[in-house]
């Protein structure tokens, strides 16, 4: 399966990225895959390969590129509880610097890059994300309703906040089918209800599901939160969503 590392021109510099796509040439629907806070690394590259094997061109940008190329921090082979305080101490400030304005500038660049790739078809794309990437996917989908036909977030963070530009307030801009796969502690029942009410009011097709017995980060095989059953459930939800919304050539 072809893979490559890339540099994507943005308004603020060059974003390094990983891409995977099917063998055999031709054009394929694009999928923009937003990383979790730990960044672009082998586990995300493997997820991109898995998606590419189902017929998609998958782009995984390092959204923290302004601070340097991935990896920005040295990660242990297995991210357990003992490593998290140090890692979060270095990475959370980068997340706080990644403002909604930066997110949208970068989304323009990532979608423009996909539109210009000869391996990517002319139809709509999907935006999916993990942890913090779920909010980035929702912001991207809301800002580009003509381009993004599917938006998915798994073990999401910060989808419902008090901010005037909280992702849940952007729902009226969506033209994408949405799936949220939640760990049991990701969002309060009140926050889930508020997000679903916004989706219902906007007429957005969606599913919002708590994956039973899971911890935040359940899809990530290099973390202590990993749950192989929940990872499979995630594929069982994500692949049909992409199949329904993205036209394969």
List the pLDDT tens digit at each of the 249 positions of the chain: 899 999 999 999 999 999 999 998 899 999 999 999 999 999 999 999 999 999 999 999 999 999 999 999 999 999 999 999 999 999 999 999 999 999 999 999 999 999 999 999 999 999 999 999 999 999 999 999 999 999 999 999 989 999 999 999 999 999 999 999 999 999 999 999 999 999 999 999 999 999 999 999 999 999 999 999 999 999 999 999 999 999 876
The single-letter DSSP state of residue 63 is T
- CA triple 163-165-166, angle to 5 deg: 65
180 token code pair: 């949220």
- CA triple 122-124-128, angle to 5 deg: 130
- CA triple 241-247-249, angle to 5 deg: 135
Look at the chain and report how many structural domains it folds into: 1
Residues 6 or more apart in contact with residue 204 via CB below 8 angstroms = 171, 174, 176, 177, 178
Beta strands across the sheet bearing 125-130: 3-10, 13-20, 57-61, 30-34, 125-130, 148-154, 177-182, 206-210
CATH number for the domain including 164? 3.40.50.1820
Which string of b and e fits 128-155 if b means at least 16 CB within 10 Å? Answer: bbbbbbbbbbbbbbbbbeebbbbbbbbb
Predicted confidence at residue 33, as pLDDT, reads 99
State the residue for tokens 């036909």: 149
CA-wise closest residue to 95 among 72, 120, 119:
72
> What is d(CA 165, CA 77) in angstroms, rounded to the nearest whole number?
36
Using an 8 Å Cβ cutoff, are 144 and 176 in contact? no
CA-wise closest residue to 29 among 165, 124, 167:
124
Which residue stretches of 19-170 are H helix?
42-52, 84-97, 100-116, 132-143
Query: Phi and psi (nearest 5°) for 37?
Result: -65, -25
228 token code pair: 């192989």
Q: 224 is in which domain, residue-wise?
A: 3-245
């Amino acid at each position: 399966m072809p893979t490559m590392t890339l540099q994507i021109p943005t308004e603020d510099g060059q974003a390094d990225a990983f891409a995977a796509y099917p063998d055999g040439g031709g054009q394929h629907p694009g999928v923009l895959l937003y990383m979790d806070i730990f960044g672009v690394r082998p586990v995300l590259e493997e997820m991109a390969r898995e998606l590419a094997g189902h017929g998609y061109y998958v782009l995984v940008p390092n959204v923290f590129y302004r601070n340097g190329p991935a990896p920005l921090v040295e990660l242990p082979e297995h991210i357990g509880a003992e490593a998290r305080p140090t890692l979060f101490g270095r990475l959370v400030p980068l997340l706080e610097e990644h403002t909604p304005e930066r997110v949208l500038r970068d989304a323009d660049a990532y979608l423009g890059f996909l539109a210009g790739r000869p391996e990517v078809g002319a139809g709509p794309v999907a935006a999916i994300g993990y942890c913090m990437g779920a909010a980035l996917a929702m912001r991207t989908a809301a800002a580009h309703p003509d381009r993004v036909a599917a938006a998915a977030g798994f073990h999401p963070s910060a989808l419902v906040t008090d901010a005037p530009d909280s992702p849940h307030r952007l729902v009226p801009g969506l033209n994408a089918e949405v799936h949220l796969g939640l760990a049991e502690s990701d969002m309060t029942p009140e926050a889930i209800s508020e997000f679903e009410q916004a989706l219902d009011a906007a007429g957005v097709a969606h599913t919002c599901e708590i994956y039973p017995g899971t911890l935040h980060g359940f899809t990530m095989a290099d973390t202590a939160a990993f749950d192989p059953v929940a990872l499979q459930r995630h594929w069982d939800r994500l692949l049909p969503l992409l199949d329904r919304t993205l036209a394969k050539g």
